[in-house]
Structure 1
Amino acid sequence: MDVSTFYALFSATCFTLVGLWWNVVQGHPDWMRAPALRRVVGGIYLSFLLPALMGLFAQVGGTEQPQIWRASFVVVSVVGCVSTLRLLARGRSGGDSPELLWHRLGVAVLYVLVAVVGAAPEVAGVVNLRPIQAEALLLILLVVLGHGLVWRFMAGEGRPAETA
């Protein structure tokens, strides 16, 4: 598949997931009343929104102007990593399960890897990929972890202890 086509489909899919998530949230207004739940709901929202944005920037920059997608991937990844680390810190003190903490740590690591490839694209050569392809694989993993987070949250495992 052409990388440009991949990112077009990827972004559209992620934005669809954002919309679906907000439909779920609308059906549970109580989630937005409790600060701990609101943070988790927002974290899930970002797990689909940020990859969608990176996919859009990849389309704008493409292979002709890689500095556009590279810079945007670094900036968006920093936002994602900081947000995830904040959730991780609050989750540790809030009694989140060890599995959920490991999950969030994995998300933070993926954001770091996305930023590293954006800042130093030559590292993608280590796995014999073009940088934009390596980023695509990392974004796929981010969305897979986002789906896992939705599942855990909807099953009650991802919610803070006092509200599950």
Structure 2
Amino acid sequence: MDLADFYTLMSVTCFTLVGLWWTVIERHSEWKVDPGRRKLAGGVYLSFLLPGLMSTFAQVDAGNPLVWRSSFAVAAVVGLLTTLRLVSVDRSGTRGPFRRFRWIVAVVYLLILLIAVAPPVAGVIGATPLQAASVALILLVVMGHGLTWEFMMEPDPASGAPAGPA
């Protein structure tokens, strides 16, 4: 697949997932008042928004790597800091494998930051910087899906029923 086509598809997919997440949030007003759930819901939101933004900026000017490199670096720093905060906040006893290993998301954001700051590092795996970053974005979206599933399937503290849609 051509990288331009990949980044187009990735940005459309991620922004569609952001819109779907807004619909889910709208149906769960209880998540807005519980500080822990609100942070976790925000983490889900960012897990699709940040890869969508990076994918969009990767398409702005293929001839000017400064555009994608700076946007990837900023998004990676935001994702890294947010993920580290969520790792320290999410102490739920019902965490599944994605939430238990959320720290891997921070590692992927760190790799994206490294690729943005030092693009030749992508050559280690025989890829161009945008190819290596595309693999990292795929990993972020896959982990975002897993984190979303686990968050929505967590029992509602008030009723003990699953938190997902009825």
Q: Same fold (TM over 0.5)?
A: yes
Distance 1:8 1:98, change over 3 A: closer
Distance 1:98 1:150, change over 3 A: closer
TM-aligned CA deviation for residue 99 of structure 1: 3.3
- Where does 1:1-164 land on structure 2 (aligned, <5 Å)? 1-62=1-62, 64-92=63-91, 97=95, 99-156=97-154
Structure 2: gaps of 5 or more residues = none
For residues 46-81 of structure 1, the C-alpha deviation after alignment (integer angstroms, 9 at most, x for no partner) is 00000000001100132x111110111011100000
Q: Which stretches of structure 1, 4 residues or more, deviate above 2 A after TM superposition?
A: 94-103
* SS at 1:97 equivalent: coil
For residues 9-37 of structure 1, the C-alpha deviation after alignment (integer angstroms, 9 at most, x for no partner) is 11011000000011011111111111111
* SS at 1:129 equivalent: coil
Count of aligned pairs between the two proteins = 161
Structure 1: gaps of 5 or more residues = none
CA contact (8 A) 1:107 1:142 kept: yes
In structure 2, C-alpha distance between the alignment counterparts of 1:9 and 1:135, rounded to whole Å: 15
TM-score computed with the length of structure 1 as normaliser? 0.90
In structure 1, C-alpha distance between the alignment counterparts of 2:133 and 2:18, rounded to whole Å: 20
* SS at 2:102 equivalent: helix
* SS at 1:60 equivalent: coil
Instruction: Return the structure number with greater helix share.
Output: 1
CA contact (8 A) 2:99 2:150 kept: no
Residue identity matched to 2:123: G
